[in-house]
Chains A and B, each alone.
Chain A
């Protein structure tokens, strides 16, 4: 994300200290946000932007000049603009208040990939919200929310380590309508994203397979419909059964299956006594390769084992075991 640097630069030393102080305060006082979370009066702060400060200085000059020269029209202009600026604080606040954060979801990613946390927003009121932004230390997203409408903001966060990656605190903010004042709310989310180990770049060939990986003729996953189950973070979105989901007001995904006879055995113990992370990387790469080649695979890990199978669900289950290994 190229924009991440710009956002970090935006904050000066004082701004950063203020932000971290505020974050601590929010953590202490409010704790992590329980979803759905509605932005209320006491969650929203309003402060001038740097443009707002500049504008204020200009207005002050105008008023001082007007007072000095006893120039009433200059004074009137200055006061009118000040009154307008003051009204925009209300509008900025109003543009946020009442917005509901319904859910935050993120699909699992591999180490070094960027995880996309989707913040699902709902505007329950009969008026639009303009240019509502979510800002995290690493990324920014913006959306308008129509009356009684939903929207989502996606925040990127680079996955550094495997395992559960908690979502960083972020701000929901806007500087509507003139950019003079920024109204914002700090959200400490409970959302987390599963991070799979990084697949090894040059893994050894798949063990105990009669077919090898040149036979990767079957692209994609199994296409046989197996059943429905409740949507879980990480389920592919194209698998969501929209019709059923809409009827039950809950997300459901289809489960697919494509059984095969041949299988390969992915065994932690057979990898010898190398570096743990390296071994996990190799296993990850193997799983991906087997899946691509449509070869059923079993996984055996210390304390855990999965029988040979194929399909996204199986793959995710295996990867999850690898991701959470040792934790």
Chain B
């Protein structure tokens, strides 16, 4: 008997489908199919009145779908896999969903599914998705409630509610709930530390720079326009061409791939640059990328919380960045990194695989004889890059075993990692200690938001050579080849657009629009215990304790209730139009047109009596309509409303009679 009514199930499925959208996009194809099939079957069965599937078929389908899920994901420990499991189970639930209880279950868990999506993305469009899902869920729940109330009763409801009026009703409900929801959000005390651990992997895939560099690794980032981080400078900011955001640093080279060095990661900064001389003071808001590097300008004076500052000035976080992270850094550009180089490090910074790149080796030996001084030699190689026909391009051919040889003498076309790698190898061949630095170069200065936006496509690789007296010195061989790369950013240096919509004005527009996301991140995503405590600082309350917050919350809720409750008590529900009354009003209007004005306080039969006197030729019709109206209103077995409507519709009083 607890049947959710025909087509209400379609609302339930619509709610589930909407909640599924972001998850479905990330699903492997077999899982997506496994999720859609049960839903499609249920839609078909609702429309065509198919019989419910026998239990054996349902259990078989469940087993099959679960196997598909496990095979597709392989490892079920990830969050995406777990959410997919939830999604698939809800879809399977639909094939046996014939009762209101089950339908409500699915709607509630659709909302839960919606909440899980925020683990993966908290972009500015997510509230639109969540809001639509909530409204749809409310409409569905309202319909289910109606079905349930009428479940024991055969007679159809006298007041029909259209889905449109239910939609507007839901919208009003949400609108009225927003103030209370916001008050709770702003004032509800946050946890200082999590109750249980946050898993390391939350994102669909790691993004950004990796812990090694081989030809093509940075090039692949070049196609990725997503923001890597945003920087707000407190006070003066360096020019964009000086923004070298230092990331992973590599010491080892095996002929094709550069990797980190033991010295790089495990040692803490031997002597940190003093803060007194700090040049740049800035806050970085880094997008989650599931990696451990924080980025900073040369040279960070100290490490933020839970982060180590290594000997080669990498900032390495203890935990991967799984959520939007904000940190503040002081950088001192006028610092000499390692005036003395210990022999172990020197050996490391000169190490090269034997017997490779003979042609380069030959060339370096020759040049080294001509230019014995280190700075001069560096300049000579850079000049070579600059003068010879080297190209900065995405279409770099693949290189073989003697990659440096091939690049230097044959292909001469490549990206920043080719230049950095070739340059570093040549330096090491010449006996100049060199290491590779990867990170980001430049950024887009957003004037409205007063921040610098650094995208993944700004990824870059350069080198540092150790020069006696000057310590580690940054040398960017790419700048020698393509000065535009440094001046205009990586995209400006390219000859052709990367894809169809890749034009300067588009990129500008997108960079400007990023301010919405930046503000969203700043005000909503990053809102937490610290901000909450400072909430009432302008009022002289510097530090709000949780107890104080609860008191303020209670006051705020009381105030909101005083405003909102009277409004709620006045709103009309869906479909509150009374067809009987409408028909009666229409009847009165027709009488008025014919020359009889009734006072609204009178009863129907009194009106009819008076009207009959005034319009004797129509007295039969008038009395009949009044009869029907009275019977609909008062008789225990009222005639159908349509009868009244029809009678009123047919009623044409004669004007001239009176």
Interface residues of chain A, those whose CB is within 8 Å of chain B, are 2-3, 6-7, 51, 54-55, 58, 61-84, 86-88, 90-91, 94-95, 118, 127-128, 130-131, 133, 139-144, 146-152, 174-180, 237, 242-243, 245-247, 249
Please name the 8 residue pairs, one residue from A and one from B, whose CB atoms are nearest each other, closest first.
Answer: A131-B149, A146-B578, A83-B180, A179-B145, A83-B177, A80-B181, A79-B184, A73-B118
Are A84 and B174 within 8 A (Cβ)? Answer: yes
Q: Restricting to B560-579, which residues have a CB under 8 Å from any CB of A?
A: 564-565, 568-569, 572-576, 578-579
**Interface pairs (24), CB distance under 8 Å:** A2-B1, A54-B108, A55-B108, A66-B115, A67-B195, A70-B528, A74-B119, A75-B185, A75-B188, A81-B111, A83-B184, A87-B173, A87-B177, A90-B569, A128-B576, A128-B578, A140-B152, A140-B153, A149-B633, A150-B634, A179-B141, A180-B141, A246-B634, A247-B605
Chain A residues contacting B569 (CB-CB under 8 Å) are 90, 94
Q: Restricting to B90-109, which residues have a CB under 8 Å from any CB of A?
A: 101, 104-105, 108-109
Query: How far apart are the CA atoms of A242 and B623 in the complex, in Å?
Result: 13
Chain B residues contacting A152 (CB-CB under 8 Å) are 636
Query: How far apart are the CA atoms of A243 and B122 in the complex, in Å?
Result: 68
Chain B residues contacting A64 (CB-CB under 8 Å) are 195
Are B185 and A51 within 8 A (Cβ)? Answer: no
Known contacts A80-B134, A131-B157; A147 and B524 CB within 8 A of each other = no
Chain B residues contacting A83 (CB-CB under 8 Å) are 177-181, 184
Interface residues of chain A: helix, strand, loop or mixed (majority): helix
Q: A83-B180, A95-B573 are in contact. List 16 more A-B contacts (CB 8 A).
A: A51-B104, A55-B108, A69-B323, A71-B119, A72-B528, A74-B119, A75-B185, A77-B114, A77-B130, A79-B182, A80-B177, A87-B173, A128-B575, A144-B159, A152-B636, A177-B173
Interface size range on B against A: 35 or more
Chain A residues contacting B525 (CB-CB under 8 Å) are 72-73
Known contacts A70-B190, A70-B323, A74-B115; A149 and B578 CB within 8 A of each other = yes
CB distance from B142 to the nearest CB of A (A): 5
Are B177 and A84 within 8 A (Cβ)? Answer: yes
CB distance from A73 to the nearest CB of B (A): 4
Chain B residues contacting A77 (CB-CB under 8 Å) are 111, 114-115, 118, 130, 134
Q: In the complex, which of the residues B145, B194, B605 contacts A131, with contact meaning CB atoms closer than 8 Å?
A: B145
Question: Does any Cβ of A come within 8 Å of B359's Cβ?
Answer: no
Are B191 and A127 within 8 A (Cβ)? Answer: no
CB distance from A109 to the nearest CB of B (A): 16
Are B524 and A73 within 8 A (Cβ)? Answer: yes
Query: How far apart are the CA atoms of A140 and B126 in the complex, in Å?
Result: 43
Are A177 and B158 within 8 A (Cβ)? Answer: no
Chain A residues contacting B101 (CB-CB under 8 Å) are 51
CB distance from B107 to the nearest CB of A (A): 10
Chain B residues contacting A76 (CB-CB under 8 Å) are 127, 130, 181, 185, 524
Are A141 and B152 within 8 A (Cβ)? Answer: yes
Are B112 and A82 within 8 A (Cβ)? Answer: no
Chain A residues contacting B112 (CB-CB under 8 Å) are 58, 61-62
Query: How far apart are the CA atoms of A1 and B325 in the complex, in Å?
Result: 63
Known contacts A82-B184, A128-B159; A178 and B636 CB within 8 A of each other = no
Query: How far apart are the CA atoms of A127 and B568 in the complex, in Å?
Result: 13
Listed residue (A3, A87, A141, A245) with the most chain B CB atoms within 10 angstroms of its CB: A87
Question: Does any Cβ of A come within 8 Å of B631's Cβ?
Answer: yes
Known contacts A73-B525, A74-B115; A90 and B181 CB within 8 A of each other = no
Are B145 and A78 within 8 A (Cβ)? Answer: no
Are A68 and B195 within 8 A (Cβ)? Answer: yes
Query: How far apart are the CA atoms of A5 and B531 in the complex, in Å?
Result: 56
Are A65 and B138 within 8 A (Cβ)? Answer: no
Query: How far apart are the CA atoms of A77 and B182 in the complex, in Å?
Result: 10
Interface residues of chain B, those whose CB is within 8 Å of chain A, are 1, 101, 104-105, 108-109, 111-112, 114-115, 118-119, 122, 126-127, 130, 134, 138, 141-142, 144-146, 148-150, 152-153, 157-159, 161, 169, 173-174, 176-182, 184-185, 188, 190-191, 194-196, 198, 323, 524-525, 527-528, 564-565, 568-569, 572-576, 578-581, 603-605, 627, 630-631, 633-637
Q: In the complex, which of the residues A79, A90, A243 contacts B188, with contact meaning CB atoms closer than 8 Å?
A: A79
Are B581 and A3 within 8 A (Cβ)? Answer: no
Query: How far apart are the CA atoms of A175 and B151 in the complex, in Å?
Result: 13
Chain B residues contacting A54 (CB-CB under 8 Å) are 105, 108
Are A147 and B581 within 8 A (Cβ)? Answer: yes
CB distance from B367 to the nearest CB of A (A): 56
Query: How far apart are the CA atoms of A90 and B565 in the complex, in Å?
Result: 8
Chain B residues contacting A133 (CB-CB under 8 Å) are 149
Chain A residues contacting B630 (CB-CB under 8 Å) are 242, 246
Are A148 and B159 within 8 A (Cβ)? Answer: no
Which single residue of chain A is at the shortest CB-CB distance from B179? Answer: A83
Query: How far apart are the CA atoms of A6 and B3 in the complex, in Å?
Result: 14
Are A72 and B527 within 8 A (Cβ)? Answer: yes
Which single residue of chain A is at the shortest CB-CB distance from B629? Answer: A246
Chain A residues contacting B198 (CB-CB under 8 Å) are 68-69
Known contacts A79-B188, A174-B149, A179-B141; A68 and B104 CB within 8 A of each other = no
Chain B residues contacting A62 (CB-CB under 8 Å) are 112, 115
Are B145 and A176 within 8 A (Cβ)? Answer: yes
Query: How far apart are the CA atoms of A68 and B564 in the complex, in Å?
Result: 30
Query: How far apart are the CA atoms of A7 and B2 in the complex, in Å?
Result: 12
Q: In the complex, which of the residues B141, B157, B180, B603 contacts A178, with contact meaning CB atoms closer than 8 Å?
A: B141
Chain A residues contacting B604 (CB-CB under 8 Å) are 246
Known contacts A68-B194, A176-B145, A246-B634; A73 and B130 CB within 8 A of each other = yes
Chain A residues contacting B323 (CB-CB under 8 Å) are 69-71
Chain A residues contacting B194 (CB-CB under 8 Å) are 68-70
Are A72 and B149 within 8 A (Cβ)? Answer: no
Chain A residues contacting B580 (CB-CB under 8 Å) are 146, 149
Are B627 and A131 within 8 A (Cβ)? Answer: no
Which single residue of chain B is at the shortest CB-CB distance from A141? Answer: B153
Chain B residues contacting A146 (CB-CB under 8 Å) are 158-159, 578-581
CB distance from A57 to the nearest CB of B (A): 10
Are A144 and B158 within 8 A (Cβ)? Answer: yes
Listed residue (A61, A143, A237) with the most chain B CB atoms within 10 angstroms of its CB: A143
Are A179 and B158 within 8 A (Cβ)? Answer: no
Known contacts A70-B191, A75-B185, A87-B173; A177 and B573 CB within 8 A of each other = yes
Which single residue of chain A is at the shortest CB-CB distance from B195? Answer: A68
Are A86 and B122 within 8 A (Cβ)? Answer: no
CB distance from B8 to the nearest CB of A (A): 12
CB distance from A148 to the nearest CB of B (A): 7
Listed residue (A2, A77, A179) with the most chain B CB atoms within 10 angstroms of its CB: A77
Are B115 and A65 within 8 A (Cβ)? Answer: yes
Are B119 and A69 within 8 A (Cβ)? Answer: yes
Are A74 and B118 within 8 A (Cβ)? Answer: yes
